[in-house]
Structure 1
Amino acid sequence: MINKERNMIKKLLIFCSILFTFHFMVFAQTENVKPLTIGEIRTIKSKVLNEDRILNIYLPQSFDKTKSYPIIYLLDGSINEDFIHVTGLVQFFNQMYSMPETIVVGVANIDRKRDFTFHTDLKDLQKDYPTTGHSDQFIGFLEKELKPYIESQFKSTDTYIFGQSLGGLLATEILLKKPELFNNYFIISPSLWWDDESLLKQAPQLLAKSKDIRKFVYVSVGKGEHPVMVKDAENLYDLLKKSNKKNWTVEYKMMETDNHATILHRSLYEGLVKLFPYQEPKI
């Protein structure tokens, strides 16, 4: 009986020792877990929009608040939209191409149909997009609140706007109506069909009023997109070229293997290559 008790105690001690060792190993592994941080999430209170807006901000790995950086304003900039893959693309260009370290400000969406479209009297669009028609307010938010806030937090050398689809429509509207807001425009698959192509129809008159100040404009569309999308993107490019702005660099890219769903990442890559060619890595 005594031997049985001794064996049981011995087994219990061995079990406790194993359990303690396991817990120690788990604790030690947990101690090695740290958050992976690539930037910040901030909330800005907008009086123009009468709501809070979330900003996802990518900061370069060697970010120094005393230095100045180019800043990309990314429409559709939610975590579950385009923020992560676009920041990855920017980081890749920082490493392998001549692109300087750059800050990305992803503007998270609340209602992109409301924010990225201007007013229309077309009944079918009003029915399909019941909240539509408030891009003027969103542009006011960018101009009067977001950009001043970001520039009060980070020193800027150059500004970009990236927009696709309805975001491309908004980027085009800003280029034509408020061109001074950004230096570089990446307009991908713009929904210029909106309001019976009224923005395209106004483009010549709007461009005539624009100052001939340095600007880079990149327009692209996928060959697999709706024919109207392709035609409108080509027309936008033609109108920009015909405006004869000597200090505007205007580029156009037909993405041969892409459609509306797949175009953004590859197209941004092609556009950035035009600005920042490949450079041999330093040894």
Structure 2
Amino acid sequence: MRLLIPFAAAFVLAFALSGAPLPARAAEETVVTDAAPMAPGLHAFDLTAARNGLTYRVDVSVPPVAPPPGGFPVLYLLDGNAFFSIAATSALLLGGSEGPVVVVAIGYPGVAGFDLTRRYLDLTSAVTPEGRTIMGARAPKVPTGGDEAFLDVILNEIRPEVARRLPVNDDRATLFGHSLGGRFVLHAAFTRPDAFRRWVASSPSIWWNDREVLKEEAAFAARTGRPALDLTLVVGGAEQDPEREEAPERAAFRTMARMVDGVRDMHDRLTRLQAGAGRIDLLVVPDEGHISVVPASLGRAVRRAAG
């Protein structure tokens, strides 16, 4: 199993910049290559997607028990390089009480932690002039806007490959993402609500593109015959607190982002909208920040995936 690099050093949020080149065109077909086994129950493969021509490393943890009737429930993770170790360990520790869960972590080959260039592309809509103005010096200097293609890759290429390899139940699939990944989860839930049974958005970047995801939420709310969501929102209770010796630029961004307020407001709106249908959970983890909340978020994601 990959080592999880220290968050404080590696998790530069979504604002660090990188100039690694990206493929210019989609591949002609999906290409899958097995990686060397890491340990019993752990598997990995690289998949070059036909949809966007990009290669993904997929790490998989399989419970050491017989699959239940219909197959294992599955927890799909974004930013898989960073989060696989925590999620796989949580699934093993909680398996006896919560039930077995297959963990599928979607990341990138040969990268420890976060590939900031790739995650900007995969997890975001195209940055708008308004969004760039709001982010100022923190605005990305790398490609954005690949979220729809990435969602297609997950649903039409990665999930079928996992189902081909393992006895999984796609009707019991959960999607987890943190930060920009949390924003991606909300985008997917509001635009393709039937794609997953459950959704877990951890510290979602609701602020992205001048809170563009709120427009998607409103469009979802206005849909006739919309399905009821099973969505868990998680945020660290200290994410809006001033930091020690905080730079003015950081303080301005924290005020703009309103991480805790934004999640609370969304929970309240969706709870009223669904009026008891589905399930909208809110977990505000006291004293935790944007980084330190991740283990609690993943623990909750494992429990929801097993349910």
Aligning the two structures, in what range does the TM-score lie when normalised by the shorter sequence?
0.7 to 0.9
1:215 and 1:246 map into 2 onto residues whose CA distance is 11
Which has the larger share of helix? Answer: 1
Three-state SS of the structure 2 residue aligned to 1:243 is helix
Mapped pair 1:145 → 2:123: no
Unaligned regions of 5+ residues in structure 1, if any? Answer: 1-34, 278-283
User: After superposition, where does 1:119-130 map in structure 2 within 5 Å?
Assistant: 119-122=126-129, 123-124=132-133, 127-130=139-142
Q: Deviation of residue 247 (structure 1)? A: 3.5
2:147 and 2:229 map into 1 onto residues whose CA distance is 22
**Which amino acid is 1:255 matched to?**
V
Q: Quick one: structure 1 residues 72 and 271, their matched pair in 2 at CA, closer, same or farther if it must change by over 3 Å?
A: closer
Three-state SS of the structure 1 residue aligned to 2:76 is strand
Q: Quick one: structure 1 residues 92 and 256, their matched pair in 2 at CA, closer, same or farther if it must change by over 3 Å?
A: same
Mapped pair 1:216 → 2:192: no
Q: Give TM-score, length-normalised by structure 2.
A: 0.71
User: After superposition, where does 1:1-283 map in structure 2 within 5 Å?
Assistant: 36-63=39-66, 68-78=71-81, 81-95=82-96, 97=97, 99-109=98-108, 110=115, 111-122=118-129, 123-124=132-133, 127-157=139-169, 158-209=172-223, 211=225, 213=227, 215-226=229-240, 228-244=258-274, 246-270=276-300
The 8 Å contact of residues 169 and 192 in structure 1, kept in 2 or not, is answered as yes
1:276 and 1:156 map into 2 onto residues whose CA distance is 12
The 8 Å contact of residues 164 and 264 in structure 1, kept in 2 or not, is answered as yes
**Which amino acid is 1:168 matched to?**
G
Q: Deviation of residue 210 (structure 1)? A: 7.1
Three-state SS of the structure 2 residue aligned to 1:180 is coil
Q: Quick one: structure 1 residues 61 and 195, their matched pair in 2 at CA, closer, same or farther if it must change by over 3 Å?
A: same
1:210 and 1:91 map into 2 onto residues whose CA distance is 40
Q: Deviation of residue 198 (structure 1)? A: 1.4
Q: Deviations over 1:19-52 (max 9, x none)?
A: xxxxxxxxxxxxxxxx733311112220112022
2:47 and 2:189 map into 1 onto residues whose CA distance is 24
Q: Deviations over 1:33-88 (max 9, x none)?
A: xx73331111222011202211001011135599610011111111xx11011111
The 8 Å contact of residues 65 and 154 in structure 1, kept in 2 or not, is answered as no
Three-state SS of the structure 1 residue aligned to 2:184 is helix
**Which amino acid is 1:100 matched to?**
G
Q: Give TM-score, length-normalised by structure 1.
A: 0.76
**Which amino acid is 1:265 matched to?**
P
Three-state SS of the structure 2 residue aligned to 1:72 is strand
1:243 and 1:155 map into 2 onto residues whose CA distance is 36
1:142 and 1:270 map into 2 onto residues whose CA distance is 22
2:226 and 2:120 map into 1 onto residues whose CA distance is 31
1:87 and 1:193 map into 2 onto residues whose CA distance is 30
2:56 and 2:306 map into 1 onto residues whose CA distance is 31
Q: Deviation of residue 113 (structure 1)? A: 0.8
**Structure 1 stretch displaced more, 169-178 or 108-117:** 108-117
Query: How many residues matched?
Result: 240
Three-state SS of the structure 2 residue aligned to 1:104 is strand
**Which amino acid is 1:230 matched to?**
V
Q: Deviation of residue 207 (structure 1)? A: 2.9
1:275 and 1:140 map into 2 onto residues whose CA distance is 21
**Which amino acid is 2:178 matched to?**
Q
Q: What's the % identity of the aligned pairs? A: 19
Alignment RMSD: 2.6
The equivalent residue for 2:27 is none
